[in-house]
Amino acid sequence: MGELPDEAGSGDNERASAEITGGYAALIRTALTKRNISNRALRRAGVINERTRRIFDYKLNSGNLTMSEMTEITRFLDINPMRALIAVAYLNDPDAYFEPCCEVLTAYNEQLVTAMTERAAALSGDFAVIHRTLHHCPAHVERISVEIVEQQERTRQWLERRTE
């Protein structure tokens, strides 16, 4: 069993949590701005209540939105939760959510989760076999990323020839 984090570890967790909260706030703010949606429009659409509308900026920036408010807002804005997680927590850049690279990473990740779920079910819960083969992951990631870049280059060249 793991140990509880000491005070320094706890501070690291709080700092990471604050960065993620700030990242989601920035992502939501950018999505609202790009779509020209005001707090009042969120209220009129029934996404937030009147009290939340009056203090929306404070609640968003301080990380005090409830889980149900966050769920309603992200659903209304059509924010993909997996894509948001990748942009905010892994790429550490909320604006990356709107980039094609993040879209590709999300698509691959969703397919990987589906495939691994199916395979894990076939193993009847015995993850030891999968765990022993995890050392192959970096090689797979390298191969897949090279293939993605090569395909992007072929697509770019094809589009250039088509527009000439």
Report whether pLDDT(145) > 60: yes
Q: How confident is the model at residue 61 (pLDDT cuts 50, 70, 90)?
A: confident
CA-based Rg of the chain, rounded to a whole angstrom? 20
Q: Is the pTM of this model over 0.85?
A: no
Report whether pLDDT(124) > 80: no
Q: Is residue 2 part of a domain?
A: no
Verify that 92 and 147 share a domain, yes or no.
no
Nearest-angstrom CA–CA distance, 116 and 129 = 12
Verify that 101 and 148 share a domain, yes or no.
no
Q: Is residue 58 part of a domain?
A: yes
Verify that 90 and 141 share a domain, yes or no.
no
As a whole-number percent, the residues of the chain with pLDDT over 70 amount to 79
The string of DSSP letters for 116-133 reads HHHHHHHTTT--HHHHHT
pLDDT at 8: 45
Verify that 95 and 120 share a domain, yes or no.
yes
Verify that 79 and 33 share a domain, yes or no.
yes
Report whether pLDDT(100) > 60: yes
Q: Is residue 48 part of a domain?
A: yes
pLDDT at 4: 38
Q: How many domains does the chain have?
A: 2
Q: How confident is the model at residue 1 (pLDDT cuts 50, 70, 90)?
A: very low
pLDDT at 2: 39
Verify that 89 and 44 share a domain, yes or no.
yes
Report whether pLDDT(6) > 70: no
User: Are the C-beta atoms of 23 and 87 separated by less than 8 Å?
Assistant: yes
Verify that 30 and 61 share a domain, yes or no.
yes
Q: Is residue 37 part of a domain?
A: yes
User: Are the C-beta atoms of 27 and 94 separated by less than 8 Å?
Assistant: yes
Q: Is residue 99 part of a domain?
A: yes
Please indicate whether residue 140 or residue 26 has the higher confidence score (pLDDT). 26
Verify that 108 and 142 share a domain, yes or no.
no
pLDDT at 7: 44
pLDDT at 142: 80
Please give the residue range of the domain that contains residue 59.
Answer: 7-125
Least confident of 18-22, 58-62, 142-146: 18-22
Taking residues 57-69, report their average pLDDT. 88
pLDDT at 5: 42
Nearest-angstrom CA–CA distance, 58 and 153 = 44
